[in-house]
Amino acid sequence: MMTRKHYRAIAEVLNAEYLGATDNVVLNTVHRIARRLGAVMEEDNPRFDHRRFMEAVVTRPSDR
């Protein structure tokens, strides 16, 4: 089972790519990958919060 530490690390990597996106294709691709990974994580851990994960992916760290 993955842990919160793993989820945060993955969200941070995706967040950096999302915030660094220079066009909508990249932005949409990162968002789609995050949603799909979130679904896998949710299956792995019933306590996983998909909404919180997605917020971490698309929000600037200073805005959290």
pLDDT tens track for 12-59 = 999 999 999 999 999 999 999 999 999 999 999 999 999 999 999 999
Domain extents in the chain: 10-59
Side-chain-facing half-sphere of 59: CA atoms under 13 Å: 10
- Fill in the amino acid letter for 59: T
8-state DSSP, 46: T
In the predicted model, is pLDDT for residue 64 greater than 80? no
Residue in the block written with tokens 């294709």: 25
pLDDT of residue 19: 95
Distance between CA atoms of residues 17 and 26, nearest Å? 8
pLDDT of residue 57: 97
pTM for this model (two decimals): 0.91
pLDDT of residue 34: 98
> How far is the CA of 21 from the CAs of 6, 10, 14, 31, in angstroms?
23, 17, 10, 11
Contact 10, 37 (CB under 8 A): yes
